[in-house]
């Protein structure tokens, strides 16, 4: 019996703490929104309804103690309402102080939530590749790695491609005309059918309707339909202070490799023209920094992890709700300040 009573007391204490925390959170956010207005309205309320107001300092004093705001001794029988207009103004200033502290707490809470990934940067970016194409055996053809749907500046890209090694091989990956100027990995594995280009650019990143990150040069090895697809480990990271992956989907394409083989002269011409393109005697690659390494630089997300992110998550929904409330409060005051600056 005693153990049950002790357990109930513990549960009651925990519930009391939880209720206190929730009530405090609501009070802080209400003061952050309405505190300034309450502070201004408090002396006005006192003028019209003095008996419905309270002197906060009197509330903290014991019977017979002196209240600096009212400049009188506290008498519970007379009530603890402000005795004078200056006292009402001082109480309004107390509300204002709590309102400013509450607004600061809301701002701090929003910064913490931002570091935790709220609000999440939307996934809007897609890789775009040609939807069709047909080439002869031995013919080298380009496939541009083009990015569209950029709503937030990006500064790091990892493009991982998978292809059928029996049908195709990668001759080279070019960074000519790329919007990126730093490259840290270029990997080609024609045995398993894998290619990777990793790079980016410093702050403020890249922000445009679309942009070319690189160009992969394939060569047909055997006739038939050959599929090329971006792998789930591909990433497009936003320049949002958190490195959020904004890639929303993975493109794929199928090429037709014809049985007709190109001549030796055509093959030599392709290598000299396509693989050694020069613009006014100087390629854009001359201004790029390259640090290729044979290890993973930005990491990789497997398909299971991507699906895991989409599952129902109560904590994520709760934190997302907190962020929306904070954004509402801060946006409201931003609009108020903007109105008075005009």
Domain boundaries, the chain: 20-115+318-341, 126-307
Do 124 and 151 contact (CB within 8 A), yes or no? yes
pLDDT computed for residue 294 by the predictor: 42
pLDDT of residue 282: 43
Query: In this predicted structure, what is the pLDDT of residue 304?
Result: 43
**pLDDT for residue 269:** 80
pLDDT of residue 306: 40
Q: DSSP for 48-110? A: H-GGG---HHHHHSPTT-EETTTTEE--GGG-SS--SHHHHHHHHHHHHHHHHHHHHHHHHHH
A 10 A CB-CB count for 211 gives 18
CATH of 126-307, one of 3.40.640.10, 2.60.40.680, 2.40.128.50, 3.60.40.10: 2.60.40.680
Digitized pLDDT (tens) for each residue of the chain, 342 residues in all: 555 666 677 777 888 888 998 899 999 999 999 999 999 999 999 988 888 888 888 888 888 888 888 888 888 777 788 888 899 999 999 999 999 999 999 999 888 887 777 777 788 899 988 777 899 999 999 999 999 999 989 999 999 999 999 999 999 999 988 999 899 999 999 999 999 999 999 888 999 888 999 999 999 999 999 999 999 999 999 988 888 889 998 889 999 999 998 888 887 787 776 655 544 344 555 567 666 544 443 333 433 444 444 455 677 777 778 888 888 888 888 888 887 776
- Cβ burial of 111 (10 Å; 0-12, 13-18, 19+) is exposed
């Amino acid at each position: 019996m005693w153990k049950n009573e002790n357990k109930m007391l513990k549960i009651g204490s925990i519930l009391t703490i939880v209720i206190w925390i929730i009530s405090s959170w609501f009070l802080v956010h209400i003061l952050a929104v309405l505190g300034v207005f309450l502070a201004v309205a408090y002396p006005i309320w006192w003028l019209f309804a003095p008996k419905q107001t309270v002197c906060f300092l009197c509330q903290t004093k014991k019977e017979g103690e002196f209240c600096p705001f009212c400049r009188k001794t506290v008498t519970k029988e007379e009530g603890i309402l402000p005795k004078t207009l200056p006292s009402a103004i001082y109480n309004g200033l107390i509300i204002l102080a709590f309102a400013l502290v509450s607004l600061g707490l809301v701002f701090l809470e929003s910064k913490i939530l931002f570091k935790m990934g709220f609000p999440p940067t939307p996934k809007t970016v897609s890789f775009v590749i040609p939807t069709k194409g047909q080439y002869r055996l031995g013919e080298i053809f380009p496939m541009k790695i083009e990015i569209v749907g950029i709503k937030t500046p990006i500064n790091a890209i990892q493009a991982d491609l998978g292809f059928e090694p029996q049908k195709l091989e990668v001759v080279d990956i070019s960074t000519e005309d790329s919007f990126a100027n730093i490259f840290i990995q270029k990997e080609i594995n024609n045995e398993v059918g894998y290619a990777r280009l990793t790079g980016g650019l410093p702050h403020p990143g890249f922000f445009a309707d679309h942009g070319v990150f690189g160009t992969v040069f394939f060569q047909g090895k055997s006739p038939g339909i050959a599929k090329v697809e971006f792998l789930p480990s591909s990433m497009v990271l936003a320049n949002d202070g958190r490195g959020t992956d904004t890639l929303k989907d993975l493109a794929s394409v199928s090429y037709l490799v014809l049985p007709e083989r190109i001549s030796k002269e055509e093959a030599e011409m392709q290598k000299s023209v396509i693989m050694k393109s020069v613009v006014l005697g100087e390629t854009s690659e001359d201004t790029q920094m390259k640090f290729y390494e044979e290890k993973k630089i930005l990491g990789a997300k497997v398909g299971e992890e991507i699906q895991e992110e989409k599952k129902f998550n109560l904590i994520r929904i709760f934190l997302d709700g907190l962020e929306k409330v904070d954004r509402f409060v801060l946006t409201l005051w931003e609009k108020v300040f903007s109105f008075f600056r005009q």
